[in-house]
Amino acid sequence: MLSTAGTMDTSDWTLLGNIPVSSLVKDAKAISNLTWLMSLLAALIAAAIGLIVLRTVGRPLVQLRTLMNEGKKET
pLDDT at 75: 61
- Read off the pLDDT of each residue in 26-37 and give the average, rounded to a whole number: 92
Digit-coded pLDDT (tens) for 55-71: 999 888 988 998 898 88
Q: CA angle at residue 31 from 26 to 32, to 5 degrees? A: 95
Name every residue whose Cβ is closer than 8 Å to that of residue 27 and which is 6 or more positions away in sequence.
none
Distance separating alpha carbons of residues 71 and 1, to the nearest angstrom: 78
- Single-letter amino acid, residue 54: L
For the entire predicted model, the pTM comes to 0.57
